[in-house]
């Protein structure tokens, strides 16, 4: 008997070691690519191209960043994306609340039918082409509205918000508010929203990250480069290799190619920094959002 | 009956404010979700922009036949299904494994560190992820070739080899989403009654046995629900990433239904044909979802509805 317990403790220790080792391996796998990009973005392009840079900048320089910040396309993309993210998040959050709050009220007649109509769109849709034709017919093609309205609502986020309202606002609160002569809109503004800061944070973050990182709608709906969000500009520079405007004309071709490579790393860093910077402050809300959503798939 | 209608009328009047609020998002759902479904009929018509959706002439199943009879039908179908299955087979279990590992780690700081670090890539955009893949695949100085070089492998430009398309897609997906998708399981695991583990220890269960007989069964319903939802998307491979990753050299492996629709519909303007292709895709998805839900309800009594 005693020997058995002793064996268990021994195997427990091995087990802990294996788990800690696996945890460390996972951290390495996630971090190595990120650190490599960061190191390369601060390194001398010559050394990057020769493959000398690994996890620490070699021949430290911020030249690639200077080039990124001098690039007018990137600036314009940045400004556009900031606009789309702020405005789009506002529209999306308001629409989501306007749907989630009434649907969370149990006394709403027809609530189940409406909910079914909404859920159905999660599993079946008209698809890319009919939506595209509709957006064109509505006159939104090549306008900022194409990025703000057609994808404004996410049914998943709606369910998260509705579930939150259902579970955290007691029905008696509505009853007593009604007795005090409080209307439904006043209830939403004065009672429900102040109690729902967590879910508001979740919605703002989910929508903001989604809009910041989106490129598909811009790809199909926006023709004018003036309207392009940052992700489209990034695609042009990083994947299609449109780097003509980078650097001055008096440098040689070889130098240009080198700088084009260096700029790619710094452009990745610059475009990702805003989301990665807010992330530590908001990650607890993200986790919360996933957990609320999990209550009801 | 009349009584019921009266009651309903009264309830609607009482909550008229709620319906007014609901009207705006509901209008959005009708316009941007249900009108496109109505627009699906152009798959059965020869769409002519001047005639519009409802006036274009009917052609029946012509476009569906055209797709099924095309020489590329099986290639595209196979690329879509295999990429999707591969993504699911690797991508679905990994977050569960990660959650179980995190759940077993005792040092709280280390635990938090793993969680926070693995969530990070979730915030990067697809454009950034694909750019990283391209840079890392560079023959001369890419990270991948440096790593394979350590093992004495010759440098390869992974992005321009059809054979590497799927592994690159799948494993970068796992890298990006594993941590975030694990959250839901970590939450479910934290809700498991600790007494179960204690009782098992007294019975002399090893840690591995506890994982298999306590942790896993306790999160099984979460796993099943997520799995059914995943099945319902089996045929929809994310357009964004595939489109950015593909190039003319890898098309034989990377052309999937959604990229095909984009190129033929939006770029070439074959609206009816590509709508038919898209409809074929969503109908199969829907059938898969309904059947997965049915099977799950019969066997495990868990389902989406």
Q: Coil, strand, or helix at residue B301?
A: coil
CA distance A254 to A232: 26
pLDDT of residue A63: 84
For residues B37 and B143, state if they share a domain.
no
Please report residues of A whose CB lies closer than 8 A to that of B36: 125-127, 130-131, 134
A87 touches chain B (CB under 8 A): no
pLDDT of residue A296: 47
Structure tokens at A103: 């649907």
Q: Is residue B53 part of a domain?
A: no
Q: Is residue B39 part of a domain?
A: yes
Indicate the residue of A123, A220, A275 with minimum beta-carbon distance to B232.
Answer: A123
Over residues B115-124, mean pLDDT? 90
Q: With CB atoms and an 8 Å threshold, state whether B143 touches A32.
A: yes
CA-nearest residue of chain A to B289?
Answer: A123
B247 touches chain A (CB under 8 A): no
Write out pLDDT tens, residues B196-237.
998 998 888 888 889 999 999 999 988 988 888 788 777 777
**Please, are residues B97 and B219 in contact by the beta-carbon 8 Å criterion?**
no
Q: With CB atoms and an 8 Å threshold, state whether B21 touches A132.
A: no
Structure tokens at A7: 């064996």
Indicate the residue of A16, A183, A239 with minimum beta-carbon distance to B17.
Answer: A183
Q: Considering chain B, what percentage of its residues have pLDDT values greater than 90?
A: 55
Q: With CB atoms and an 8 Å threshold, state whether B118 touches A27.
A: yes
Q: What is the CATH number of the domain that holds B126?
A: 1.10.3720.10
- Opening angle at CA A274, ends A273 and A278, nearest 5: 110
**Please, are residues A58 and A47 in contact by the beta-carbon 8 Å criterion?**
yes
CB atoms near residue A125 (< 10 Å): 21
Q: Considering chain B, what percentage of its residues have pLDDT values greater than 70?
A: 100
Write out pLDDT tens, residues A222-233.
999 999 999 999
Surface of A (212-241) touching B: CB under 8 A? 212-216, 220, 231, 234-235, 238-239
For residues B29 and B153, state if they share a domain.
no
Indicate the residue of A8, A150, A152 with minimum beta-carbon distance to B206.
Answer: A8
Residues in chain B: 305
Q: With CB atoms and an 8 Å threshold, state whether B244 touches A121.
A: no
For residues B230 and A161, the model is more confident at A161
- Residue A183 contacts by C-beta under 8 Å, 6 or more apart in sequence? B17
User: How many domains does chain B divide into?
Assistant: 2
Q: Coil, strand, or helix at residue A149?
A: coil
- Nearest CA to A38 out of A67, A60, A9, A7 is that of A60
Q: Is residue B60 part of a domain?
A: no
- ipTM confidence score: 0.89
Q: Which of A94-98, A225-229, A245-249, B232-236 has the lowest mean pLDDT?
A: A245-249
CA distance A92 to A148: 8
Q: What is the pTM for the complete model shown?
A: 0.89
Q: Which domain holds residue B136?
A: 71-300
Q: Is residue B49 part of a domain?
A: no
Q: Does A297 score more than 80 pLDDT?
A: no
pLDDT of residue A5: 52
Distance, in angstroms, between A46 CA and closest chain B CA?
Answer: 11
Question: What residue segments make up the domains of chain A, in order of their start?
Answer: 1-61, 62-297
Class of the A62-297 domain? mainly alpha
Over residues B240-268, mean pLDDT? 93
B150 touches chain A (CB under 8 A): no
Surface of A (245-274) touching B: CB under 8 A? 261, 264-265, 268, 271-272
For residues B106 and B15, state if they share a domain.
no
């Amino acid at each position: 008997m005693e020997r058995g317990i002793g064996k268990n403790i021994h195997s427990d220790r091995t087990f802990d070691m294996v788990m800690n080792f696996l945890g460390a391996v996972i951290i390495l796998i996630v971090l190595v690519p990120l650190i490599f990009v960061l190191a390369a973005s601060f390194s001398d392009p010559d050394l990057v191209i020769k493959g000398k840079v690994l996890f620490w900048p070699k021949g430290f320089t911020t030249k690639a960043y200077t080039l990124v910040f001098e690039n007018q396309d990137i600036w314009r993309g940045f400004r556009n994306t900031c606009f789309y993210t702020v405005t789009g998040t506002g529209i999306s959050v308001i629409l989501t609340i306007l749907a989630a709050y009434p649907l969370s009220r149990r006394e709403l007649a027809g609530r189940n039918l409406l909910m079914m109509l909404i859920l159905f769109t999660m599993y079946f849709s008209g698809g890319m082409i009919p939506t595209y034709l509709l957006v064109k017919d509505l006159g939104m093609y090549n306008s900022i509205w194409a990025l703000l309205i057609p994808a404004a609502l996410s049914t998943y986020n709606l369910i998260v918000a509705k579930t939150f309202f259902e579970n955290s606002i007691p029905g008696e609160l509505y009853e007593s508010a009604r007795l005090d002569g409080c209307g439904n809109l006043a209830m939403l503004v004065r009672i429900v929203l102040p109690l729902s800061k967590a879910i508001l944070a979740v919605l703002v973050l989910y929508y903001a990250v989604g809009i910041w990182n989106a490129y598909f709608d811009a790809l199909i709906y926006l023709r004018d480069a003036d309207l392009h969000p940052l992700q489209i500009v990034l695609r042009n520079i990083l994947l299609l290799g449109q780097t003509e405007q980078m650097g001055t004309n008096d440098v040689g071709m070889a130098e240009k190619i080198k700088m084009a490579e260096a700029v790619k790393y710094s452009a990745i860093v610059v475009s990702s920094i805003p989301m990665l910077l807010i992330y530590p402050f908001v990650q607890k809300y993200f986790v919360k959002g996933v957990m609320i959503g999990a209550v009801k798939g | 009956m009349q009584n019921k209608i009266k009651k309903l009328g009264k309830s609607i009047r009482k909550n008229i404010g709620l319906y007014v609020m609901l009207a705006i998002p509901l209008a959005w759902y009708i316009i941007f979700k249900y009108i496109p479904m109505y627009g699906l009929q152009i798959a059965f018509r020869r769409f002519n922009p001047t005639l519009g959706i409802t006036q274009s002439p009917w052609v029946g199943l012509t476009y569906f036949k055209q797709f099924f009879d095309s020489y590329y039908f099986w290639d595209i179908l196979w690329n879509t299904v295999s990429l999707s299955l591969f993504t699911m087979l690797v991508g679905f279990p990994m977050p569960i494994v990660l959650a179980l590992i995190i759940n077993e780690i005792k040092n709280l700081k280390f635990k938090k560190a793993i969680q926070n670090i693995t969530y990070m890539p979730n915030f990067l955009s697809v454009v950034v992820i694909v750019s990283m893949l391209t840079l890392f695949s560079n023959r001369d100085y890419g990270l991948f070739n440096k790593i394979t070089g350590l093992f004495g492998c010759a440098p390869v430009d992974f992005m321009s080899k059809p054979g590497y398309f799927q592994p690159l897609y799948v494993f970068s997906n796992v890298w990006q989403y594993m941590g975030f998708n694990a959250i839901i399981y970590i939450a479910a695991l934290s809700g498991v009654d600790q007494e179960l583990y204690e009782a098992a220890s007294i019975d002399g269960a090893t840690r591995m046995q506890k994982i298999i007989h306590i942790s896993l069964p306790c999160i099984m319903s979460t796993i099943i629900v997520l799995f059914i939802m995943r099945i319902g998307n089996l045929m929809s491979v994310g357009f964004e990433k595939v489109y950015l990753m593909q190039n003319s050299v890898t098309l034989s492996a990377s052309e999937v239904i959604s990229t095909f629709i984009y190129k033929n519909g939006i770029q070439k303007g074959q609206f009816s044909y590509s709508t038919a292709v898209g409809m074929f895709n969503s109908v199969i998805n829907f059938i898969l979802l309904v059947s997965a839900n049915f099977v799950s309800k019969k066997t495990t009594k868990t389902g989406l509805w």
